[in-house]
Structure 1
Amino acid sequence: MPRIVHLSDLHFGAHDETIVAAVLQEVDGAKPDLVIISGDFTQRARTEQFVEAGRFLEKLRDAGHEVMAVPGNHDVPLYDVIRRFLSPLARYKRFIDDELCPWHQLPGVSVLGLNTARSLTIKDGRLNAEQIDFVRRHFADVPKGDLKLLVTHHPLFALPVDDGGILGRPLGRQELALDAVNELGIDLLLAGHNHRASTHQARDLVTRAGGALVVQAGTATSIRLREEEQSFNIIEASEGEVTIGLKRWAGARFETAEPTRFRRAEDGWHQARVLSDPAEA
């Protein structure tokens, strides 16, 4: 059963060192097959912030963890206008990964990352037609039965919140992306950006999105909170089943929330019983 740790929004430069150390310890304890980081490694894309983020990645890799990452909007310089438009992700490529749309395969799981950060937008993200073609090419030939994961920094959707409001805006070119997600039978859409953890069924957000699960990670290590504490996800996959567990910061350590299990049916993913004991996951 492959296990994936999903981190997001590290924001080095506006981070908590105690929580960074705790995340590293938790990842070691989880023994994941893959660590996914869905963008915003830095607070302002400065060199010293990327150096800190690079050290964090080095510690993960030195501990034997495979890491896959995509950039976020905070990894594009905001105030350095020349660099923002001429070489927006040069520092990301130098310190994090020179591949902006990485592809990774585990036994039974295929994962594709897409860069949604753009120079022309301050906060919001976009995809383009070439990236959608890239998605189609990669997922068209994966082994039958593989779990298909698409990773972006920006969520494809505006997301509901508990007070009845809506958080964020849909990803630019959302319609193109959702058509591909539906046609290809992509299972999980992993993202961050909003610093709020949640799991939704895509069809409940936009009908044309089909049966995918929309899995949002909170901020793992940033002190820039949005009404909830730091957190990250642990995802376990088996044939036809996914369990999503949340690790939430409780002031001195990460605590484990009740995992949620989903089973795949012909029309997509449906929530199964809530596990009473995390050891059952």
Structure 2
Amino acid sequence: MTERPIRLFHISDIHFGLEDARAIRWAQDAVADERPDAVIITGDLTMRARSREFTAACHWIQALDVPVSVEVGNHDIPYFNLYERFFAPYRRFRAIEHLVEAEIDLPGLAIVPLKTTTRAQWQRFPWSNGWVTAAALQQTLTAIDALPAGTRALVACHHPLPERREKDGKLLTINGDHAMAALAGRNVLAVLSGHIHDPFDLTAQTEQGPLRMIGAGTLSRRIRSTPPSFNELVVIGDTVRVTARNLEQVHTADMQIPALPENALPPREPGEPVAPVAHVPAVDPPVH
């Protein structure tokens, strides 16, 4: 018998508080009309982790009515309330806490979370980029190792895992190289992430072999070089087909960036990677 394709919608960086209203309606309608097997949201549901932003985000996610797994992004940890940031950083997720870092089991496939956000980082400030702690990585590896024989795995996190920026070696995700090697050694199909607001489909070479990295764009007004989008993933056996679906009907190859920038700001320096479509705003929209 031919194996049934598994279809996933990979959504990231919705940024309620600075959301693109047309884009989130379009994505919600696509879920309702097409009923994917699951929706994977790789973080940054909100812009400033305000209660009203979380309320809007939770209502939107609850209305999807399909299996959903939600990763926490750096924008989802309280920005102004330092007490909550350090002592109750996920309190505002209560309405969807059963979906946060939830593992999803599909026929022959598992979506396994990897936490890359932290409340603080002694190595640097600000704390917007990723850190794969030893405990977080071990939890993910343990979950992968416990899967039934033959089950394929997709790992979902917020930050892309490369540890250093290509052009100058600037630190990006702490412990990222070690994490990529460990996941490559488990034959993970791909790592799904967000954070930089442009889609990508890249392969990292690690000491344990290649590791595919798939990034989703944004559904916010905080675009970098491509229009609002989400990824449609079709998994058949060990093959993952990616389509960067977008409001402007731009071809997937023209939506995907060739390398990873530091973050989701418009390029500030010559040589920052952008997609061929190159819709680069001069500045980000203001946050109120």
TM-score class normalised by the smaller sequence: 0.7 to 0.9
Q: Distance in 2 between matches of 1:209 and 1:202?
A: 11
Greater strand fraction, Structure 1 or Structure 2:
1
Amino acid at match of 1:182: A
Q: Distance in 2 between matches of 1:117 and 1:180?
A: 19
The 1:226–1:52 alpha-carbon spacing in structure 2 relative to 1, beyond 3 Å, is same
Q: Distance in 1 between matches of 2:61 and 2:169?
A: 29
Q: Which runs of 4 or more aligned residues in structure 1 lie more than 6 Å from their structure 2 counterparts after TM superposition?
A: none
Greater helix fraction, Structure 1 or Structure 2:
1
Q: Does the CA contact (< 8 Å) of 2:161 and 2:177 recur in 1?
A: no
Q: Does the CA contact (< 8 Å) of 1:202 and 1:209 recur in 2?
A: no
Q: Does the CA contact (< 8 Å) of 1:129 and 1:176 recur in 2?
A: no
Gaps of 5+ in 1: 260-281
* Residue 111 (str. 1) matches residue 111 (str. 2): yes
1:211, distance to aligned residue in structure 2 (A): 2.3
TM-score, structure 2 normalization: 0.78
Q: 1:175 aligns with which of 174, 177, 200?
A: 177
1:129, distance to aligned residue in structure 2 (A): 1.4
Q: Which moved more, 1:172-181 or 1:68-77?
A: 172-181
Q: Does the CA contact (< 8 Å) of 1:8 and 1:232 recur in 2?
A: yes
CA RMSD of aligned residues (A): 2.3
Q: Distance in 2 between matches of 1:4 and 1:20?
A: 17
1:208, distance to aligned residue in structure 2 (A): 2.4
Partner of 1:91: 92
1:235, distance to aligned residue in structure 2 (A): 0.5
The 1:209–1:7 alpha-carbon spacing in structure 2 relative to 1, beyond 3 Å, is farther
Partner of 1:24: 28
Gaps of 5+ in 2: 122-126, 254-288
Amino acid at match of 1:222: S
2:207 counterpart SS class:
helix
2:136 counterpart SS class:
helix
* Deviations 1:217-269 (CA, angstroms, capped at 9, x unpaired): 011x210111211111000111132211110122xxxx37358xxxxxxxxxx
1:170, distance to aligned residue in structure 2 (A): 3.2
The 1:102–1:157 alpha-carbon spacing in structure 2 relative to 1, beyond 3 Å, is same
Amino acid at match of 2:231: N
The 1:69–1:151 alpha-carbon spacing in structure 2 relative to 1, beyond 3 Å, is same
The 1:198–1:209 alpha-carbon spacing in structure 2 relative to 1, beyond 3 Å, is farther
The 1:17–1:156 alpha-carbon spacing in structure 2 relative to 1, beyond 3 Å, is same
Partner of 1:198: 200
Partner of 2:222: 224
Q: 1:141 aligns with which of 138, 143, 146?
A: 146
The 1:134–1:237 alpha-carbon spacing in structure 2 relative to 1, beyond 3 Å, is same
Q: Distance in 1 between matches of 2:174 and 2:164?
A: 15
1:22 counterpart SS class:
helix
1:118, distance to aligned residue in structure 2 (A): 1.2
TM-score, structure 1 normalization: 0.80
Partner of 1:67: 68
Q: Distance in 1 between matches of 2:16 and 2:33?
A: 23
1:18, distance to aligned residue in structure 2 (A): 1.8
Q: Distance in 1 between matches of 2:169 and 2:67?
A: 31
Q: Distance in 2 between matches of 1:240 and 1:169?
A: 32
Q: Distance in 2 between matches of 1:157 and 1:213?
A: 11
* Residue 257 (str. 1) matches residue 251 (str. 2): yes
* Deviations 1:177-236 (CA, angstroms, capped at 9, x unpaired): 123212211111000000010100122xxx3262221000011x2101112111110001
Q: Distance in 2 between matches of 1:58 and 1:181?
A: 31
Amino acid at match of 1:236: V
Amino acid at match of 1:229: P
Q: Distance in 1 between matches of 2:80 and 2:97?
A: 23
* Residue 153 (str. 1) matches residue 158 (str. 2): yes
Amino acid at match of 1:235: L
Partner of 1:267: none
